[in-house]
Structure 1
């Protein structure tokens, strides 16, 4: 579960991020990233519509995306608002595919924003760090 301070909660926050943010789409997700105050904690919000599937499928996708978001908060702890929209293909995607799409989209949006590059501890889609060590 994400801490309350790290969640986008209002429709205004979502709208602002989607409208003013940088967008990047992948097979399973579309990610919007916008900068907020440099001292503010980064916040993440998720959009998982009924088009993704039934309640069981949507909740599975949300749990997986929340975990990917928690990992990215370690890298980008302050200054960013991120909205993740799950696409229907995400319902049948594996954890590895979903994580790979999330990380790739996040990296592209951060580069477009001129943001910081991921640290070496960032998880790759195979569950290892960039040094090649397995994460516990």
Structure 2
């Protein structure tokens, strides 16, 4: 299970990652990855639409992808935001197929990031920034 600090939770985080991230698709998943501050924990979010299946199937796919994400945090524990979008084929995929697609897409996006690896944290981090204060 993913810790709260490792989850993408707001629509702003999702849209920023999807719009500005590096994308790679496989048969069952599409991954979007973007580098964030190097000292921030990596965060992962999941998009599993109704096209994947009914609620039972969507939750099964989501649980499997969440576990794959938790395993990937061992290698990429800090500095990345990742959005995983499940495709309809994920409903019929086994755990091994989902894990293989997730890992292959993640490795490809990390290679494509290349020079855009996690940047150093700004003077004012997101956690310490007060509401209404200008960003550093």
| TM-score, length of structure 2 as denominator length | 0.84
Matched residue of 2:9: which SS? coil
Measured against aligned partners, the alpha-carbon deviations of 1:80-109 in whole angstroms (never above 9, x if no partner) come to: 000000000000000010000000000000
CA distance in 1, matches of 2:63, 2:4: 16
Which structure 1 segments of 5+ residues have no match? 117-136
Q: Say which SS state the counterpart of residue 9 (structure 1) adopts.
A: coil
TM-score between the two structures when normalised by the length of structure 1? 0.84
Unaligned runs of 5+ in 2: 119-136
Aligned match of 2:73: 73
Could you say which structure has the larger radius of gyration?
2
Q: Does 1:34 align with 2:31?
A: no
Structure 1 segments, 4+ long, off by >6 Å, are none
Partner of 2:97: 97
For CA contacts below 8 A with separation 6 or more, give which structure has more relative contact order.
Answer: 2
Q: What is aligned with 1:17?
A: 17
- For residues 24-49 of structure 1, what are the alpha-carbon distances to aligned partners after superposition, in whole Å with 9 as ceiling and x for unaligned? 00000000000000000000000000
Q: What is the CA-CA distance between 1:68 and the residue it aligns to?
A: 0.2
